[in-house]
Amino acid sequence: MELIKSNTSRVALVAGASRGIGLALVNELLMQGDWHVLAACRQPDQAQSLINLRKEYVDQLTLLSLDATDEQSLANFKQQCLQHCQHIDLVFNTIGLLHGPDLKPEKSLRQMRLANLHSIFAANAFAPILLAQSVSALLAKSSQSWFVSLSARVGSISDNQLGGWYSYRAAKAAQNQLLKTLSIEWARTQPNTCVLVMHPGTTDTDLSKPFQRNVPESKLFSAKFVATSLLALTLSKNSLDSGQFLAWNGELISW
Ligand SMILES: NC(=O)c1ccc[n+]([C@@H]2O[C@H](COP(=O)([O-])OP(=O)(O)OC[C@H]3O[C@@H](n4cnc5c(N)ncnc54)[C@H](OP(=O)(O)O)[C@@H]3O)[C@@H](O)[C@H]2O)c1
């Protein structure tokens, strides 16, 4: 396994890189030219878009395996990261789950199911903090690093006007609290790392597909636009901004 030449490039890790906003971020980072990108997803050998990108950017892209809801996979992933690089400058967690074959966001209390709560919390709340634990030592070794995780405006408790989507809302609110707490610990123990939680805006991906009907065209963003906006916003921030909950356009969102 080859160690990245970290003196020539900054190292970015994208978790949830197989599709959607994560894949768009991988593309954006590669196009910028001065990043080595670690792209982590559950099944890298089946992630055709990443496999194609790897052919084009053979020296700049490394594919890693990660199921962030599985402790053994997280432990293996940590080892893979340590084998590939000496530091990480930027982590983007884009892992998220809203619906699936047997999973729909709840419209009412009647629809609450324990199994659904477990899977929604595992992906949206537990995964980001466990990922942070896996990469903290590598982020600490960079002189300015960022740990950015995608939350959602519906995770804001004070902004909750509509109700519904119980488990997704609550899991994003839990993620916000976990990462706010992390920002306070890291301000003390690794003050070079800036922790940010971000709302990407409604983005045209598999996650939002079933819910796009009432979204005006001007408010439905492409994954490419969102990736460019989130990356520019991140790089404009430093450790003094750590602990913020931000929308894609830099607006602060209330907790
Ligand atoms: N799209 C929107 O309008 C919108 C709005 C607000 C917030 N967000 C948030 O933005 C983030 C990205 O959303 P998206 O629209 O890009 O979603 P997406 O297209 O559905 O992609 C979700 C990604 O998460 C990965 N993932 C799910 N569970 C995982 C696990 N246990 N371990 C590793 N990877 C896992 C998926 O991998 P597989 O391919 O292996 O399934 C996929 O790469 C999410 O956190 C979402 O909640 C999105």
Distance 150 CA to ligand 1 centre (A): 9
User: Which residues 6+ apart lie within 8 Å of 219 measured at CB?
Assistant: 201, 202
Pairing mode of beta strands 90-93, 193-199: unpaired
Atom 14 in ligand 1: which residue has the minimum CA distance? 20
pLDDT in the model for residue 35: 97
With 0-12 / 13-18 / 19 or more C-beta atoms within 10 angstroms meaning exposed / middle / buried, residue 115 is: exposed
pLDDT in the model for residue 9: 78
Instruction: Please tell me the distance from the alpha carbon of residue 192 to that of residue 181, in angstroms, as a whole number.
Output: 16
Instruction: Please tell me the distance from the alpha carbon of residue 153 to that of residue 20, in angstroms, as a whole number.
Output: 18
User: HEC string of 132-185?
Assistant: HHHHHHHHHCCCCEEEEEECCHHHCCCCCCCCCCHHHHHHHHHHHHHHHHHHHH
User: Which residues 6+ apart lie within 8 Å of 83 measured at CB?
Assistant: 1, 3
pLDDT in the model for residue 2: 61
Q: What is the pLDDT along the chain (255 residues), one digit of tens a residue?
A: 567 754 557 999 999 999 999 999 999 999 999 999 999 999 999 999 999 999 999 999 999 999 999 999 999 999 999 999 999 999 999 999 999 999 999 999 999 999 999 999 999 999 999 999 999 999 999 999 999 999 999 999 999 999 999 999 999 999 999 999 999 999 999 999 999 999 999 999 999 999 999 999 999 999 999 999 999 999 999 999 999 999 999 999 999
| Six-digit token string for 120 | 């929604």
Q: How far is CA 110 from CA 49, 102, 154, 246, in A?
A: 39, 16, 20, 32
How is the chain split into domains, by residue range?
10-247
Contact 87, 138 (CB under 8 A): yes
99 Cβ closer than 6 Å to some ligand 1 atom: no
Q: Which SS3 state, helix, strand or coil, does residue 94 take?
A: coil
With the most atoms of ligand 1 within 8 angstroms of its CB, the residue from 99, 205, 212 to mutate is: 205
CATH number of 10-247: 3.40.50.720
Instruction: Please tell me the distance from the alpha carbon of residue 28 to that of residue 36, in angstroms, as a whole number.
Output: 12
97 Cβ closer than 6 Å to some ligand 1 atom: yes
With the most atoms of ligand 1 within 8 angstroms of its CB, the residue from 196, 203, 222 to mutate is: 203
180 Cβ closer than 6 Å to some ligand 1 atom: no
pLDDT in the model for residue 8: 58
Q: With b meaning 16 or more CB within 10 Å and e meaning fewer, what string describes 165-187?
A: bbbbbbbbbbbbebbbebbeebb
Say what the alpha-carbon torsion angle 76, 81, 84, 90 is, to the nearest 10 degrees. 160
123 Cβ closer than 6 Å to some ligand 1 atom: yes
- SS3 of the chain: helix, strand, coil, percent, to 5: 45, 15, 35
